[in-house]
Amino acid sequence: MNRLCCCLVLALIAPIVSAQDRVRYDDRVVVRTKLDNLRELRTMLALGGELWSESMGVGTVDFMIPDDRVTALERVGIDFEILVPDVQSVLDDELARLEAAEGGIAGGGFFTEFQERENLIDFYDALESARPDLVSSRVIGTSTQGRSISAYTI
């Protein structure tokens, strides 16, 4: 379940946007399916399944689907279990928890919560600026998305 919560945070909470710009996931559930063949995989995709696992294929795969598609899943005979019955309520709870921590002493430090890429870079760059005798950085490559990959030596 921790992995699933981490996926929720990474996939849905990661972008910092204003409240009116946030994507809503009302009436969505996350299901863990046991797909026996490609036909079942195609059926999941046709039902609007959004991948929530590391990879897609035959076997055990998690998807987020509209909650009104659960009956269709039952009808076509794909084995599944509901992991998250209300995605938006989980996100709302997590967002409230994170926003409540703003402006105060929030836990054991910077790394106790998920940090966005830009926050991590800013954190390490601030360390490097404050203590260049202890921290150095260099670019070691480029990601598939065209972003620089930095290595920090502490």
| Domain regions of the chain by residue span | 2-99, 115-153
The H or E element that residue 44 is part of is helix 38-46
pLDDT at 108: 56
- Structure tokens belonging to residue 117: 């890429």
Burial of 3 from C-beta contacts in 10 A (0-12 / 13-18 / 19+): exposed
Confidence of residue 59 (pLDDT cuts 50, 70, 90): very high
User: Roughly how many angstroms between the first and final C-alpha of the chain, as a whole number?
Assistant: 33
More confident residue, 16 or 140: 140
Assessment of whether the complete model's pTM goes beyond 0.85: no
Backbone angles phi, psi at 46, to 5 degrees: -65, -30
CATH class of domain segment(s) 2-99: alpha beta
